[in-house]
Amino acid sequence: MKNKLLEIIKKEIIKETKKIINNAKVTARENKLDNIDKLLLINNNIELYLDSLKEYFIFDDDLINKIFVLKNESIIEAKKDICNVILNIIKNEQKDVFIKIIDYINTLKSKGIDIDINSIENSIYKPINLDMQFLEYNQVFGINKLDIIKKYGTKCELTDFAILLGSIVSEDNKTGWWWIKNYAGYGDAKVVCYEGNCYSFPVNIDSICIRPVIKYSSIEKYCTNKKVIDDNILEVDFGELPNNTVNIQIYNILENKYNDGSIERTSKVYTIDNEYNKFKNNKCIEYIYDNKKYIRFVVFNNKNKNGMINGEKINVGDIYWLEVKNIRWIVSLNNDIAIPKYLIFSGIKFNNDRNYSGDFNNTNIKNFMDNHLSIDIQQLNSIKNKYIKSKKLVKNT
């Protein structure tokens, strides 16, 4: 008898809940409320109704789940609107994107809408498939030389990040070597040296820079700070990577905050090796201070004996803080090609063994670019970017 009575009460509660939801939909339609405000109205009205029953009735999991199912349609509609708001933040904001997303999510929570961050992330975030490649010899030196190579030349400056990762550098510490994809015989590939000339180089060496090539049409709508350089040549910003080291004042602030555990970190990390290399660590954690992002880099080997940072020799155990900045790309509209203006990355072997035959798509370095670099540079690595108070971290992070 008692169980039957409970079932009757539950049915009445479900019936009344359906009525509350339908009435809220009518009110939302009449007042032209969006789906988020409609869900808020539904939640508030149901909560008021259930609160009025708590003195007389204990809600079990079965009843709570049935009420959630009734709200599910409105939750899905609201989630689509939330995704669109977040996508607009990503598209239209040029800085502090992560902070603005979290502020928006916290605003929703303050209104009583606490939708799972994972479900939002899975709904809106799919990294662009960049299919990173390298330039070919004819595009750099041959009859099909690209207009952007003619304009900017073959010599290329490099970032402090690339130097710290072990890049070969020129005597003035400004330009580096970078791979092109052509087979050069004897298992080697071709490279552009810091003087701008072409050489053959063993593919099992990890001190040559990565200068990835991507189709501009695949990233055009995500680019910012577009600047027309010449007919059919642009410069644009797309993605982020650690760039150059900070000044001594910022260094001291960041290092002190790191050591006392007060620095905040994002959920983003940058991969600096793959399974084929034997580095002591393989991730650089991203931190945030004063709305700017940084990494802490500890020199873990002495392979770069010639590189210098701020005019000083690099030594094992040295600690550097680098600011994360937008990657600047130069674009050939005629060829639908974008390449970084500077050498942005090194420390990855072209191939583990000296056995390259020209099949670029099956090389170690192509695998690294597809599975790590192309994802890491995309700014929305995770919208679960609540800033976590760091604990005392191990030395090489």
DSSP percent split of the chain into helix, strand, coil, nearest 5? 40, 25, 40
Q: Which amino acid is at 60?
A: D
**Residue 101, CB-side half-sphere exposure with 13 Å CA sphere:** 30
Specify whether the CB–CB gap between 47 and 114 falls below 8 A.
no
Q: How many CB atoms lie within 10 A of CB 122?
A: 10
- Please name which of 283, 273, 270, 388 lies closest in space to residue 327, comparing C-alpha atoms: 270
- Please name which of 216, 220, 219, 177 lies closest in space to residue 334, comparing C-alpha atoms: 216
pTM value is 0.69
Element (H, E) at 118: helix 117-124
CA angle 390, 392, 395 (to 5 degrees): 115
Q: Between 98 and 371, whose confidence is greater?
A: 371
DSSP string computed for 135-180? --HHHHTSTT--HHHHHH-S--BB-HHHHHTT--B-TTS-BB-EEE
Q: Which of 46-50, 117-121, 245-249, 253-257 has the lowest mean pLDDT?
A: 117-121
Please give the backbone phi and psi of residue 68, each rounded to the nearest 5 degrees, phi first: -60, -40
pLDDT at 179: 98
The string of pLDDT tens digits covering residues 109-150 is 777 776 655 555 555 556 788 999 999 999 999 999 999 999
> pLDDT tier at 62 (50, 70, 90 boundaries)?
confident
Helices assigned H by DSSP within 189-328: 248-259
> pLDDT tier at 81 (50, 70, 90 boundaries)?
confident
Specify whether the CB–CB gap between 324 and 140 falls below 8 A.
no
The string of pLDDT tens digits covering residues 184-231 is 999 999 999 999 999 999 999 999 999 999 999 999 988 989 999 988
Hey, where are the domains in the chain?
2-124, 137-389
The string of pLDDT tens digits covering residues 145-184 is 999 999 999 999 999 999 999 899 998 889 999 999 999 9
Using CA atoms, how far apart are residues 387 and 292, in angstroms rounded to an integer?
A: 13
> pLDDT tier at 235 (50, 70, 90 boundaries)?
very high
Q: What is the mean pLDDT of the chain?
A: 84
Instruction: Using the predicted structure, report yes or no on whether residue 39 has a pLDDT greater than 80.
Output: yes
Q: What is the average per-residue pLDDT within 16-30?
A: 91
> pLDDT tier at 395 (50, 70, 90 boundaries)?
very low
Please give the backbone phi and psi of residue 212, each rounded to the nearest 5 degrees, phi first: -70, 150
pLDDT at 279: 39
Q: Which of 253-262, 294-303, 318-327, 349-358 has the lowest mean pLDDT?
A: 294-303
Q: Between 283 and 305, whose confidence is greater?
A: 283
